[in-house]
Protein backbone atom coordinates (compact mmCIF):
# COMPACT_ATOMS: atom_id res chain seq x y z
CA UNK A 1 0.00 0.00 0.00
CA UNK A 2 2.71 2.48 1.02
CA UNK A 3 4.14 2.68 -2.50
CA UNK A 4 0.75 3.56 -3.92
CA UNK A 5 0.10 7.24 -3.37
CA UNK A 6 -1.20 8.57 -6.69
CA UNK A 7 -4.91 8.73 -6.25
CA UNK A 8 -7.43 9.32 -9.03
CA UNK A 9 -11.02 10.07 -8.02
CA UNK A 10 -13.85 8.98 -10.29
CA UNK A 11 -17.25 10.56 -9.66
CA UNK A 12 -20.05 12.45 -11.32
CA UNK A 13 -18.99 16.09 -11.59
CA UNK A 14 -22.00 17.78 -9.97
CA UNK A 15 -21.94 20.54 -7.36
CA UNK A 16 -23.50 18.21 -4.82
CA UNK A 17 -20.81 15.57 -5.40
CA UNK A 18 -17.98 18.13 -5.31
CA UNK A 19 -19.19 19.17 -1.86
CA UNK A 20 -19.17 15.58 -0.66
CA UNK A 21 -15.77 14.86 -2.21
CA UNK A 22 -13.90 17.97 -1.01
CA UNK A 23 -13.32 16.70 2.57
CA UNK A 24 -12.07 13.40 1.11
CA UNK A 25 -9.59 15.26 -1.10
CA UNK A 26 -8.33 17.23 1.90
CA UNK A 27 -7.98 14.09 3.99
CA UNK A 28 -6.10 12.30 1.20
CA UNK A 29 -3.61 15.17 0.89
CA UNK A 30 -3.13 15.32 4.68
CA UNK A 31 -2.22 11.65 4.50
CA UNK A 32 0.38 12.19 1.79
CA UNK A 33 -1.60 11.01 -1.19
CA UNK A 34 -1.17 12.93 -4.45
CA UNK A 35 -4.40 13.63 -6.27
CA UNK A 36 -3.90 13.11 -9.99
CA UNK A 37 -6.26 14.17 -12.76
CA UNK A 38 -4.63 12.04 -15.44
CA UNK A 39 -5.59 8.42 -14.84
CA UNK A 40 -2.36 7.24 -16.51
CA UNK A 41 -0.47 8.62 -13.52
CA UNK A 42 -2.68 6.88 -10.96
CA UNK A 43 -1.96 3.76 -8.99
CA UNK A 44 -5.13 3.94 -6.90
CA UNK A 45 -8.51 4.66 -8.47
CA UNK A 46 -11.37 5.46 -6.10
CA UNK A 47 -14.96 5.61 -7.27
CA UNK A 48 -17.36 7.72 -5.27
CA UNK A 49 -21.03 6.81 -5.47
CA UNK A 50 -22.76 3.45 -5.57
CA UNK A 51 -22.02 0.20 -7.36
CA UNK A 52 -22.96 1.96 -10.60
CA UNK A 53 -20.19 4.51 -9.99
CA UNK A 54 -17.75 1.65 -9.44
CA UNK A 55 -18.80 -0.03 -12.70
CA UNK A 56 -18.31 3.30 -14.51
CA UNK A 57 -14.92 3.86 -12.90
CA UNK A 58 -13.56 0.49 -13.98
CA UNK A 59 -14.94 0.82 -17.51
CA UNK A 60 -13.86 4.42 -18.08
CA UNK A 61 -10.33 3.71 -16.86
CA UNK A 62 -10.07 0.55 -18.95
CA UNK A 63 -9.76 -2.05 -16.14
CA UNK A 64 -6.22 -0.95 -15.36
CA UNK A 65 -3.97 -3.79 -14.31
CA UNK A 66 -1.44 -1.58 -12.53
CA UNK A 67 -4.04 0.08 -10.30
CA UNK A 68 -5.88 -0.74 -7.14
CA UNK A 69 -9.60 0.08 -7.27
CA UNK A 70 -11.49 1.31 -4.20
CA UNK A 71 -15.24 1.83 -3.94
CA UNK A 72 -16.39 4.66 -1.66
CA UNK A 73 -20.11 4.80 -1.12
CA UNK A 74 -22.18 7.95 -0.74
CA UNK A 75 -25.19 5.97 0.47
CA UNK A 76 -25.45 2.50 2.01
CA UNK A 77 -22.66 0.02 1.30
CA UNK A 78 -23.01 -2.01 -1.88
CA UNK A 79 -21.18 -4.91 -3.47
CA UNK A 80 -18.16 -3.00 -4.75
CA UNK A 81 -18.12 -0.30 -2.08
CA UNK A 82 -16.53 -1.26 1.23
CA UNK A 83 -15.99 2.29 2.47
CA UNK A 84 -18.36 5.12 3.21
CA UNK A 85 -17.74 8.81 2.52
CA UNK A 86 -19.65 9.58 5.72
CA UNK A 87 -17.10 7.62 7.73
CA UNK A 88 -13.69 8.63 6.43
CA UNK A 89 -12.06 8.20 9.83
CA UNK A 90 -12.91 4.52 9.66
CA UNK A 91 -11.34 4.38 6.18
CA UNK A 92 -8.06 5.87 7.40
CA UNK A 93 -8.13 3.69 10.51
CA UNK A 94 -8.61 0.57 8.40
CA UNK A 95 -5.77 1.56 6.06
CA UNK A 96 -3.39 2.22 8.94
CA UNK A 97 -4.26 -0.89 10.92
CA UNK A 98 -4.08 -3.53 8.23
CA UNK A 99 -7.81 -4.11 8.30
CA UNK A 100 -7.90 -4.07 4.52
CA UNK A 101 -6.99 -6.61 1.88
CA UNK A 102 -6.74 -6.76 -1.88
CA UNK A 103 -9.08 -9.09 -3.72
CA UNK A 104 -9.05 -10.00 -7.36
CA UNK A 105 -12.38 -9.89 -9.12
CA UNK A 106 -12.76 -11.74 -12.41
CA UNK A 107 -13.89 -9.80 -15.45
CA UNK A 108 -15.66 -10.95 -18.57
CA UNK A 109 -14.23 -10.55 -22.06
CA UNK A 110 -16.77 -10.03 -24.83
CA UNK A 111 -15.81 -10.16 -28.49
CA UNK A 112 -18.50 -9.06 -30.94
CA UNK A 113 -17.78 -10.42 -34.41
CA UNK A 114 -14.13 -9.67 -35.05
CA UNK A 115 -14.03 -6.34 -33.23
CA UNK A 116 -11.71 -5.32 -30.41
CA UNK A 117 -12.95 -6.99 -27.19
CA UNK A 118 -15.00 -5.29 -24.47
CA UNK A 119 -14.65 -6.04 -20.78
CA UNK A 120 -17.24 -6.00 -18.04
CA UNK A 121 -17.39 -6.52 -14.32
CA UNK A 122 -21.08 -7.36 -13.76
CA UNK A 123 -22.43 -8.89 -16.93
CA UNK A 124 -23.02 -8.79 -20.63
CA UNK A 125 -26.63 -9.01 -21.71
CA UNK A 126 -28.14 -9.42 -25.13
CA UNK A 127 -31.76 -8.54 -25.71
CA UNK A 128 -34.18 -8.12 -28.55
CA UNK A 129 -34.78 -4.45 -29.29
CA UNK A 130 -38.29 -5.03 -30.57
CA UNK A 131 -41.34 -6.76 -29.11
CA UNK A 132 -40.67 -9.90 -31.15
CA UNK A 133 -38.55 -12.71 -29.73
CA UNK A 134 -35.20 -13.38 -31.27
CA UNK A 135 -33.23 -16.53 -31.81
CA UNK A 136 -29.72 -17.36 -30.65
CA UNK A 137 -27.66 -20.47 -31.31
CA UNK A 138 -25.78 -21.20 -28.11
CA UNK A 139 -22.38 -22.92 -28.28
CA UNK A 140 -20.30 -24.15 -25.35
CA UNK A 141 -16.79 -24.39 -26.79
CA UNK A 142 -17.46 -26.15 -30.13
CA UNK A 143 -20.66 -27.86 -29.03
CA UNK A 144 -23.94 -26.49 -30.39
CA UNK A 145 -25.69 -26.74 -27.05
CA UNK A 146 -29.15 -25.26 -27.67
CA UNK A 147 -31.19 -22.87 -29.75
CA UNK A 148 -32.68 -20.12 -27.63
CA UNK A 149 -35.77 -18.16 -28.55
CA UNK A 150 -37.01 -15.42 -26.27
CA UNK A 151 -36.13 -11.99 -24.94
CA UNK A 152 -32.44 -12.53 -24.37
CA UNK A 153 -29.62 -13.89 -22.27
CA UNK A 154 -27.38 -12.65 -19.46
CA UNK A 155 -23.81 -13.77 -18.94
CA UNK A 156 -22.55 -12.67 -15.56
CA UNK A 157 -19.38 -12.79 -13.51
CA UNK A 158 -19.51 -14.05 -9.91
CA UNK A 159 -19.65 -10.49 -8.51
CA UNK A 160 -22.30 -9.62 -11.10
CA UNK A 161 -24.41 -12.58 -10.00
CA UNK A 162 -26.16 -10.41 -7.39
CA UNK A 163 -27.30 -7.89 -10.01
CA UNK A 164 -29.35 -8.43 -13.19
CA UNK A 165 -28.74 -12.18 -13.04
CA UNK A 166 -30.51 -12.43 -9.70
CA UNK A 167 -33.70 -10.90 -11.13
CA UNK A 168 -34.04 -13.83 -13.50
CA UNK A 169 -33.54 -16.38 -10.71
CA UNK A 170 -29.89 -17.08 -11.37
CA UNK A 171 -27.70 -18.34 -8.52
CA UNK A 172 -25.53 -16.12 -6.37
CA UNK A 173 -21.95 -17.24 -6.96
CA UNK A 174 -18.97 -17.01 -4.62
CA UNK A 175 -16.41 -14.68 -6.28
CA UNK A 176 -13.63 -17.12 -5.44
CA UNK A 177 -15.10 -19.46 -8.07
CA UNK A 178 -13.64 -18.45 -11.42
CA UNK A 179 -16.74 -18.96 -13.51
CA UNK A 180 -19.34 -17.31 -15.65
CA UNK A 181 -23.06 -17.79 -15.34
CA UNK A 182 -25.44 -18.02 -18.29
CA UNK A 183 -29.09 -17.08 -17.61
CA UNK A 184 -32.13 -16.85 -19.84
CA UNK A 185 -34.57 -13.96 -20.11
CA UNK A 186 -38.05 -15.33 -20.88
CA UNK A 187 -37.24 -18.27 -23.11
CA UNK A 188 -39.98 -19.74 -25.23
CA UNK A 189 -40.11 -23.51 -24.94
CA UNK A 190 -42.19 -25.71 -27.21
CA UNK A 191 -41.69 -28.66 -29.53
CA UNK A 192 -39.61 -26.57 -31.89
CA UNK A 193 -37.45 -24.61 -29.48
CA UNK A 194 -36.02 -26.13 -26.34
CA UNK A 195 -33.52 -24.67 -23.92
CA UNK A 196 -32.10 -25.96 -20.66
CA UNK A 197 -34.46 -23.65 -18.76
CA UNK A 198 -32.16 -23.00 -15.83
CA UNK A 199 -29.05 -20.92 -15.35
CA UNK A 200 -25.74 -22.73 -15.70
CA UNK A 201 -22.16 -22.06 -14.68
CA UNK A 202 -19.19 -22.42 -16.99
CA UNK A 203 -15.64 -22.98 -15.77
CA UNK A 204 -12.85 -20.56 -16.47
CA UNK A 205 -11.51 -22.28 -19.58
CA UNK A 206 -14.82 -22.44 -21.42
CA UNK A 207 -15.93 -20.19 -24.25
CA UNK A 208 -19.58 -19.37 -24.78
CA UNK A 209 -20.54 -18.33 -28.29
CA UNK A 210 -23.92 -16.75 -29.01
CA UNK A 211 -24.80 -16.64 -32.70
CA UNK A 212 -27.70 -14.37 -33.53
CA UNK A 213 -29.88 -16.13 -36.09
CA UNK A 214 -30.18 -13.78 -39.07
CA UNK A 215 -33.94 -13.80 -39.50
CA UNK A 216 -34.76 -10.11 -39.78
CA UNK A 217 -35.00 -9.53 -36.02
CA UNK A 218 -31.26 -9.45 -35.65
CA UNK A 219 -30.50 -6.03 -34.20
CA UNK A 220 -30.22 -6.95 -30.52
CA UNK A 221 -29.22 -4.53 -27.76
CA UNK A 222 -25.96 -5.57 -26.17
CA UNK A 223 -25.36 -4.31 -22.65
CA UNK A 224 -22.03 -4.37 -20.85
CA UNK A 225 -22.54 -3.46 -17.19
CA UNK A 226 -24.42 -0.17 -17.19
CA UNK A 227 -23.84 0.75 -20.82
CA UNK A 228 -25.29 -0.32 -24.12
CA UNK A 229 -22.85 -1.01 -26.91
CA UNK A 230 -23.40 1.12 -29.96
CA UNK A 231 -23.11 -1.89 -32.26
CA UNK A 232 -26.24 -2.04 -34.43
CA UNK A 233 -25.71 -5.33 -36.12
CA UNK A 234 -24.04 -8.18 -34.28
CA UNK A 235 -23.77 -11.67 -35.71
CA UNK A 236 -21.80 -13.36 -33.00
CA UNK A 237 -20.69 -12.81 -29.40
CA UNK A 238 -17.82 -14.71 -27.88
CA UNK A 239 -17.72 -14.65 -24.08
CA UNK A 240 -14.90 -15.82 -21.82
CA UNK A 241 -13.46 -15.00 -18.45
CA UNK A 242 -10.65 -12.56 -19.15
CA UNK A 243 -7.08 -13.59 -18.38
CA UNK A 244 -6.72 -10.42 -16.36
CA UNK A 245 -8.75 -9.53 -13.27
CA UNK A 246 -9.02 -6.29 -11.31
CA UNK A 247 -7.54 -5.64 -7.91
CA UNK A 248 -10.02 -4.24 -5.41
CA UNK A 249 -9.31 -2.91 -1.95
CA UNK A 250 -11.79 -4.14 0.63
CA UNK A 251 -12.29 -4.49 4.34
CA UNK A 252 -11.18 -7.84 5.74
CA UNK A 253 -14.27 -8.19 7.91
CA UNK A 254 -16.73 -7.59 5.07
CA UNK A 255 -16.84 -10.77 3.02
CA UNK A 256 -18.98 -11.27 -0.06
CA UNK A 257 -21.40 -13.41 1.96
CA UNK A 258 -21.74 -10.72 4.61
CA UNK A 259 -22.68 -8.34 1.79
CA UNK A 260 -25.25 -10.81 0.48
CA UNK A 261 -26.70 -11.19 3.96
CA UNK A 262 -26.74 -7.44 4.61
CA UNK A 263 -28.33 -6.58 1.27
CA UNK A 264 -30.87 -9.35 0.90
CA UNK A 265 -31.61 -11.05 4.20
CA UNK A 266 -31.15 -8.74 7.16
P1 LIG B 1 -29.47 0.94 -12.24
O2 LIG B 1 -30.54 0.41 -13.11
O3 LIG B 1 -29.42 2.40 -11.93
O4 LIG B 1 -29.47 0.17 -10.82
C5 LIG B 1 -29.32 -1.20 -10.66
C6 LIG B 1 -29.14 -1.52 -9.19
O7 LIG B 1 -28.26 -2.61 -9.07
C8 LIG B 1 -28.54 -0.42 -8.34
O9 LIG B 1 -29.17 -0.42 -7.09
C10 LIG B 1 -27.08 -0.80 -8.23
O11 LIG B 1 -26.45 -0.33 -7.09
C12 LIG B 1 -27.21 -2.29 -8.17
N13 LIG B 1 -26.03 -3.05 -8.57
C14 LIG B 1 -25.14 -2.80 -9.55
N15 LIG B 1 -24.23 -3.77 -9.59
C16 LIG B 1 -24.54 -4.66 -8.61
C17 LIG B 1 -24.00 -5.88 -8.15
N18 LIG B 1 -22.93 -6.39 -8.72
N19 LIG B 1 -24.60 -6.51 -7.12
C20 LIG B 1 -25.69 -5.99 -6.54
N21 LIG B 1 -26.27 -4.86 -6.93
C22 LIG B 1 -25.70 -4.20 -7.96
O23 LIG B 1 -28.08 0.52 -12.91
P24 LIG B 1 -26.60 0.76 -12.40
O25 LIG B 1 -26.58 1.21 -11.00
O26 LIG B 1 -25.94 1.57 -13.44
O27 LIG B 1 -26.06 -0.73 -12.45
C28 LIG B 1 -25.97 -1.45 -13.65
C29 LIG B 1 -26.45 -2.83 -13.39
O30 LIG B 1 -27.86 -2.85 -13.26
C31 LIG B 1 -26.20 -3.79 -14.53
O32 LIG B 1 -24.86 -4.26 -14.54
C33 LIG B 1 -27.21 -4.87 -14.22
O34 LIG B 1 -26.64 -5.88 -13.42
C35 LIG B 1 -28.28 -4.17 -13.42
N36 LIG B 1 -29.56 -4.29 -14.12
C37 LIG B 1 -30.53 -4.99 -13.49
C38 LIG B 1 -31.74 -5.23 -14.10
C39 LIG B 1 -32.76 -6.05 -13.37
O40 LIG B 1 -32.48 -6.45 -12.25
N41 LIG B 1 -33.89 -6.34 -13.96
C42 LIG B 1 -31.98 -4.73 -15.38
C43 LIG B 1 -30.97 -4.00 -16.00
C44 LIG B 1 -29.76 -3.80 -15.35
P45 LIG B 1 -26.13 1.22 -6.86
O46 LIG B 1 -27.44 1.86 -6.57
O47 LIG B 1 -25.23 1.19 -5.67
O48 LIG B 1 -25.50 1.73 -8.10
MN1 LIG C 1 -27.75 3.08 -9.98
pLDDT digit string, tens, across residues 212-253: 998 887 789 999 999 999 777 889 999 999 999 999 999 999
CATH of domain 107-243: 2.60.200.30
Looking at residue 2, its pLDDT comes to: 54
Least confident span in 86-90, 164-168, 204-208:
86-90
CA of 55 to the centre of ligand 2 (A): 10
Q: Does residue 11 have a known ligand-binding role?
A: no
Q: How far apart are CA 214 and CA 181, in angstroms?
A: 25
Looking at residue 246, its pLDDT comes to: 97
Closest CA to 47 of 74, 27, 22, 65: 74
Please state the length of the chain: 266
Q: Is the CB of 160 under 6 A from ligand 1?
A: yes
Residues lining ligand 2 (ion), CB within 5 A? 52
3-state secondary structure of 142: coil
In CATH terms, the superfamily for domain 6-98 is: Probable inorganic polyphosphate/atp-NAD kinase; domain 1 (3.40.50.10330)
Looking at residue 89, its pLDDT comes to: 83
Q: How far apart are CA 197 and CA 189, in angstroms?
A: 8
This prediction has a pTM of 0.95
Is the pLDDT at 138 greater than 70, yes or no? yes
Q: Is the CB of 78 under 6 A from ligand 1?
A: yes
Is the pLDDT at 75 greater than 70, yes or no? yes
Domain ranges within the chain, ordered by starting residue? 6-98, 107-243
Residue 68 CB neighbours (<10 A): 18
What is the pLDDT averaged over residues 20-45?
94
Test site for ligand 1: of 56, 175, 183, 226, most ligand atoms within 8 A of the Cβ: 226
51 is catalytic: yes
CA of 49 to the centre of ligand 2 (A): 9
Amino acid sequence: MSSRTNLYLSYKRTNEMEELVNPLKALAEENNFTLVTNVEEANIIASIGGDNAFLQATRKTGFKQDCLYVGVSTDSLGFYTDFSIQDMKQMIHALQNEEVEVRRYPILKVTVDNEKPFYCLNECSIRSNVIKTFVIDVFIDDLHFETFRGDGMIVSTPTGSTAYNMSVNGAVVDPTLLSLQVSEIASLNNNEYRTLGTSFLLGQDRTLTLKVVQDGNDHPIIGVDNEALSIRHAKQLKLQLAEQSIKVLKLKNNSFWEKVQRNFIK
